[in-house]
Amino acid sequence: MGDTLTERSRQILEAIIEDYIKTAEPVGSRSVTRRHGLSLSPATVRNVMSDLEELGFLASPHTSAGRVPTDKAFRFYVDSLLQIRSIDDEQRDEIRRHYRSQGRDVGEMLKETSRILSSISHYIGIVVAPRFTANVFRQIEFVKLCGSRILAILVSESGVVQNRIIESNEEIPSEDLVRMSNYLNNLLKGLTISEVKARIFQEMESDKVRYDDLMSKALKLSEQTLDEPDAEVFIEGQVNILEQPEFADVDKMKEIFRAFEEKGQLITLLDRCMDAERVNIFIGAENFLNRMNQLSVITAPYASGRNTLGVLGVIGPTRMGYDRVIPIVDYTARMLSKLLGSG
Amino acid sequence: MGDTLTERSRQILEAIIEDYIKTAEPVGSRSVTRRHGLSLSPATVRNVMSDLEELGFLASPHTSAGRVPTDKAFRFYVDSLLQIRSIDDEQRDEIRRHYRSQGRDVGEMLKETSRILSSISHYIGIVVAPRFTANVFRQIEFVKLCGSRILAILVSESGVVQNRIIESNEEIPSEDLVRMSNYLNNLLKGLTISEVKARIFQEMESDKVRYDDLMSKALKLSEQTLDEPDAEVFIEGQVNILEQPEFADVDKMKEIFRAFEEKGQLITLLDRCMDAERVNIFIGAENFLNRMNQLSVITAPYASGRNTLGVLGVIGPTRMGYDRVIPIVDYTARMLSKLLGSG
DNA sequence: AGTTAGCACTCTGTGTCATCGAGTGCTAAC
DNA sequence: GTTAGCACTCGATGACACAGAGTGCTAACT
């Protein structure tokens, strides 16, 4: 639909958007002519701007205050105007440096990743930890704690660990626990977690198991271990958003921080990007959470081998520096994938 | 020094503090007489207030604005005036309810604890995860990931799990890994982690090991597993602080959120309370971080058996409802200890 | 001597008003 | 189609007066 835009309109729109990204303030016709090398008079630009407003690309906060790009404008900007540069060498090196000085616990790595995203983009970094369900089973272990409490540890192919304390109703000797885990490891090796669940169910029904107390106990334990806790998210750099002039207002700030407290919603949002090929962008109120009205999200999935594990991204104001941030998100996702992969 | 206070001064000081806790606004002499049943005239109260200011208990923001209790006043309040009630039945039940509906992963439990602290106190809940060092060794496991990567899993007596991916320089067969962990589990069973470290060092020097390749590899792996990552902190409810009128100012808010991003400092602060008998209170700028100028921290250690594991607490404005929050922190710590203990 | 009433004084917060400046929209001329 | 000119709008800023809350001091009271 928008393709009725003339070349000149596009240039002007781009100029306005870029100006607005820099200043966070409504852009007037004069600024456009001055800053941009267009040999046009302010009056002409005004006419064009008026058209752009009609088309829904611009909005005026009030009569005499220049114009502000709408979500639609940013969408157009991202889709059609923006040429994505590859990442700056400097930033690439910085990302690498961060990862190098890094302990190798997977959780730590994810947290560090969100820190990297935030510190390099100057916005908010976010990483959704891998769901077990999207993962390949590697091993299960049971550790006897005091009394009848058992610690179950589940390890995936990519080294993600999920652990859970199970309150058993009877005390099980350590040797039995070892036998149980051997049995399960054999049974489940190489399956994805969703297959694992199906397999457990199927095995429970089988005669062989029904009369073997140990096996059936083992299956029950594994079942309890598998039921997944809420996905973990690492969010870092929330303060950065406070630097943005458009959030200088206390109420807006509250809204935003409240949005971040409800991690469930965030996760739902990011989960939708799991299947995306590469970078995915949500602009402003485009898709989601009313609380994140004035924010955009740039996401990319990360993987281990062919297996998509989770999603990471950057959250910033709608007027964020897309050209700068998109390559950062993309590169970080690939870097993380490499580190989690067979590396 | 402060004991020169007359009974009447103390009453007035208490009234002012309580008023200020409620309203967050400077308290004038009239409010004191009105709200409190004291049969004194405002003028008299003014005289007393003037004395209290001289003694450093009160401060006036400006000439005509009533007075505000200082940190010193709150300290006095907490130490001498406050009588600690035991926890409300209602709140106790609420805490219990939260814990009941709870998956049993230790990490999850700690996170939920900080959520509980925040939601019941209406301030910020904070929990420092157990350090491994303060813990008793239970078991170590090695899981072979792809290639030469090994996942090491360390379990403590109380069921806390620490895991780490180790990049080995050669591929080690699974059977060897099992043998290695058996060897280590035998060697280290029942020691505290600091003893474990010493033991590993000592064992590495012994002849028996020096010529056994597998053992020495095992020791090296365990050493790598043990070097501790930064302590984890769970902070929940930061938005609550935004509701406090004294932080309505954008710059103050920024300061506070920045303080929370530097978790290292927070941890240092809380660590100091590890050895405290029970509840510990920091008021305002009393001890620490200049950034947390206007905040107080109420902490309590939690334990498993006799073994102090970590610290939890509530962070709120200096004018927080100490009488309400102290029992909450205390009770939650004991509850968590019970859950982590032999259950 | 301690307590209180009275009063002048101080300071902040609020509302009003005029002014300034940036920016628009329209019209008429180029 | 483009541009200059101009009237108009609207927010931001600063000056000013005024109300209200609170203090400190003095003088009178018990």
Residue A36 DSSP symbol: S
Give the nucleotide nearest to A47 (CA→C1'): C25
Instruction: Output the distance from B157 CA to C24 C1' rounded to whole Å.
Output: 73
Contact B304, B337 (CB under 8 A): yes
Which chain C nucleotides are covered by protein, judged by CB under 7 A? 3-6, 9-12, 21-27
Amino acid A103: pLDDT: 59
Nearest in space to B241 (alpha carbons), one of A259, A248, A254: A254
Select, from the ranges A264-278, B197-211, B323-337, the one with the highest average predicted confidence (pLDDT): B323-337
Return the DSSP state at B75. H
Looking at residue B205, what is its pLDDT?
86
Tell me which residue in A143, A158, A165 faces B139 most closely, judged by beta carbons.
Answer: A143
CB of A162 within 8 Å of a chain B CB? The answer is yes
Q: Supply A59's token pair.
A: 């909005």
> How is B29-53 classified by DSSP, letter by letter?
HHHHHHHS-----HHHHHHHHHHHH
Q: Do B166 and B143 contact (CB within 8 A), yes or no?
A: no
- Residue contact A149–B343, C-beta within 8 A: yes
Residue with tokens 């040797």: A175
- The model's pTM is 0.88
Supply the DSSP symbol for A130.
P
- pLDDT score at B291: 75
Tell me the C-alpha distance between A282 and A126, whole Å.
14
Contacts of A163 in chain B (CB under 8 A): 105-107, 161
pLDDT at B289 over 80: no
Q: Using the structure, give the distance in angstroms from the CA atom of B62 to the C1' atom of D23, rounded to a whole number.
A: 10
Instruction: Look at A210 and B126; give whichever has higher pLDDT.
Output: B126
C-alpha distance from residue A140 to each of A148, A160, A200, A338 (Å): 18, 12, 13, 25
Q: What is the DSSP string of B233-293?
A: EEEE-HHHHHHSGGG-SHHHHHHHHHHHH-HHHHHHHHHTTTT-SS-EEE-GGGSS-GGGT
Tens digits of residue pLDDT in B116-143 = 999 999 999 999 988 777 778 888 988 8
Task: Please report, rounded to a whole number, the percentage of residues in chain A having pLDDT higher than 90.
Answer: 43
Q: How many residues does chain B have?
A: 343
- Is the per-residue pLDDT at B1 higher than 50? no
Alpha carbons B241 and B320: distance in angstroms, whole number: 11
* Residue–nucleotide distance: B321 CA to D19 C1' (Å): 34
pLDDT digits (tens, 9 = 90+) for B160-216: 888 888 888 888 888 889 888 889 999 888 888 888 889 988 888 888 777 788 888
Distance from CA of B269 to the nearest CA of A (A): 21
How far, in Å, CA of B47 to CA of A76, rounded? 69
Inter-chain contact B343–A147, Cβ cutoff 8 Å? yes
- Give the distance from CA A175 to its chain's centroid: 42
Q: Quickly state the pLDDT bin for B288 (edges 50, 70, 90).
A: low
Which pair of structure tokens corresponds to residue A174? 């350590």
List CB-based contacts (under 7 A) with strand D: A 8, 39-41, 43-44, 47, 62-65; B 26-31, 42-43, 46, 49-50, 53, 60, 63-67
CA dist., res. B148 & res. B144, Å (int): 8
User: Distance, in angstroms, between A162 CA and closest chain B CA?
Assistant: 8
Task: Determine phi and psi for A41, rounding to 5 degrees.
Answer: -85, 155
Residues from chain B contacting residue A250 (CB–CB below 8 Å): 242, 248, 250, 253
Among the listed residues A295, A288, A252, the one whose alpha carbon sits nearest the alpha carbon of residue A270: A288
